[in-house]
Chains A and B, each alone.
Chain A
Amino acid sequence: MGEIFVEGLTMASIYAIVAVSFNIIYRPTNIFNFAQGDLLMVGALLAAVLARGNSMPWYGAAAIAIVAVMLLAILIDLVAVSPVIKRSPHGAGWIISTLAASIIIHEIADKLAGPDPRVLPAPPPLQTSLIDFGVFSASSFQIGLVCFTCALVAATELFYRTRPGRAVRAIAEDREASLLRGINPARVTLLSFAAGGAVAAIAGILAAPILFASTSLGGMLLLKGFLVVAVGGIGSNSGAIAAALIIGMVEAATARVLTPGLQEAVSFAVVLAILLVRPQGLFGTAMGRSV
């Protein structure tokens, strides 16, 4: 039991960070960035390469990786999102264009880094070695990860109360009215991609000590992050935490009780079942006035 709990909580933390990175971009733009998984993967790989053999301090490597991913996210906005939205504001062309961006990043990373997983240690002074607490055992990294996730969600929510943060909410609520109040949505979109990219990079860097940094990390976490936002309600960070806990625990239990190979199928079935009952997710709001 203790093992399932610790494992579930650890994965839930990573999934929640991924989900927050989706939400940051989604809130002002109503866009679900399909390239998000690859941003995360680039963050993990870059940090792993830079920090290899202690050639660079861990935090320095992480900082460079985060900045690089931010720039990449901005590039995605400028190349694959904004031009497509401009052409047809209500179309779903961005689904295909961000998916294309995702594949391009993945393929290039594959050519450059190869398929082999790389090691990235936990951020010092944290360790991945397990400490026995009697009822359960957990590593200092796992504890730190859970604390960091809570802090990240709290910080994000606090940001939405500042003036720039409220501008983001304003665009989500009434785009035209926010234009008339002098908010520049193109700038907000760009900054949201930058911030969403940074958080994705952090998710990748924190996932790597457990899952290893490899090109397949992105696809897997993209899907998990999506399951979390779908269950939690897109845009809702508190929903993301609740949903991440559900999915983390379901997976950990499946791995222990059945086999790890069935993890994905079981959590997918659970998510489909939840969506059938509550299509807007646990914390999402139903669609508003449309006529």
Chain B
Amino acid sequence: MPLLEIHDLSSGYGRVPVLDRVSLSVDTGRIVAVVGANGAGKSTLLKTISGLLKPSSGTIRLDGAPIGGIEPHMIVAMGLQHVAEGRRLFRSQTVAQNLDLALIGARLDRQEEHRRLADVHALFPILLEKAHLPAGALSGGQQQMLAIGQALMRSPKVLMLDEPSHGLAPIIVDEVFDVLVELRARGTAILLVEQLVERALDLADHAYVMVSGRITGNGPATSIRGSDLVRRAYTGG
């Protein structure tokens, strides 16, 4: 059974519908990419899965349990993390405090908390180095690493990332993507929304193409890569 399974999901903002009967699934230890032009509804999809938006119809299952319409903090507690677009950190708090804050409501013992922190530091050593700087003082790449690090503090079963390459230098993007590969090897299911299409398809196992709130095609990333589907999704041709 897929870890994250979405069936016929529709949602939107107020009376403006965005998602139109979207279905997709992500298995353990897989990276699944959703590609499509700006405004296609990719971010809306992630927001609906993480509970920021309420679905108007359809089902979302996390490890078999329905999570559609549940409060976001409950979904977090069930093992899903959503790293939003634009590195949404708590800028006035330090790097260490940002990581620590992600544990709120997790009810872990001190030892486990330390183990999680050490694990995140092992993946992103820079976060240990800069532990006592305010998050707002980090560079863009470091902020992205902190945002992902926050998500990893909860050892999520499913990790969703919205435009992790957003505004980053290519070499930093490599670093971030390498961590995603490592997480995949550990069995995390990753749902990736990415503007750097080719890079995303390079990394992903499977991909979905989205146009105007609908999934217009999907398949193994390698086969999607050369297909007309992607070109049409971006140019509208």
Contact = CB atoms under 8 A, between A and B. Distances in A.
Partners in one complex: yes
B197 interface: no
B126 interface: no
Nearest to B93: A166
A163 interface: yes
Which DSSP category, helix, strand, loop or mixed, fits chain B's interface? loop
Nearest to B150: A181
Interface stretch (A20-28, A169-177, A237-245, A269-277): A169-177
Contacts of B103: 163
B104 A167 contact: yes
A163 B98 CA distance: 10
Interface string A16-37: 0000000000000000000000
Contacts of A182: 72-73, 76-77, 102, 104-106, 154
Interface residues of A, number: 18
B56 to A, nearest CB: 18
Nearest to B82: A180
Interface in B71-99: 71-73, 76-77, 81-84, 88-93, 97
B100 interface: yes
B185 interface: no
Contacts of B90: 166, 169-170, 173-174, 177-178
A75 interface: no
Contacts, number: 67
Given A174-B90, A177-B88, A180-B88, A164 B73 contact: no
- Of A166, A176, A179, A181, which is in contact with the most chain B CB atoms at under 10 Å from its CB? A181
B10 interface: no
B25 to A, nearest CB: 22
Contact of B73 (A174, A176, A177, A179): A179
B88 A184 contact: no
B50 A173 contact: no
Interface string A146-189: 00000000000000000110110110011011111111101000
A177 B92 contact: no
A170 B154 contact: no
B128 interface: no
Nearest to B87: A177
Which DSSP category, helix, strand, loop or mixed, fits chain A's interface? helix
A173 B136 CA distance: 12
A176 B52 contact: yes
Given A163-B101, A167-B101, A181 B91 contact: no
A169 B89 contact: no
B77 A179 contact: no
Interface string A267-291: 0000000000000000000000000
A169 B150 CA distance: 16
- Of A166, A180, A186, which is in contact with the most chain B CB atoms at under 10 Å from its CB? A180
A123 to B, nearest CB: 35
A166 B88 contact: no
B91 A179 contact: no
Contact of A181 (B51, B71, B76, B92): B76
B72 A180 contact: yes
A167 B150 CA distance: 14
B82 A184 contact: no
A177 B101 contact: no
A44 B105 CA distance: 35
Interface in B136-159: 150, 154
A126 to B, nearest CB: 38
A190 B49 CA distance: 26
Nearest to B101: A166
Contacts of A177: 84, 88-90
Interface of A: 163-164, 166-167, 169-170, 173-174, 176-184, 186
Interface of B: 50-52, 71-73, 76-77, 81-84, 88-93, 97, 100-106, 150, 154
Closest 6 CB pairs of A and B: A182-B76, A177-B88, A179-B72, A184-B73, A170-B90, A182-B73
12 contacts: A163-B100, A163-B101, A170-B93, A176-B52, A179-B52, A180-B82, A180-B83, A180-B84, A182-B72, A182-B105, A183-B105, A184-B105
Given A163-B100, A173-B92, A179-B72, 4 more contacts: A176-B88, A177-B88, A177-B90, A180-B84
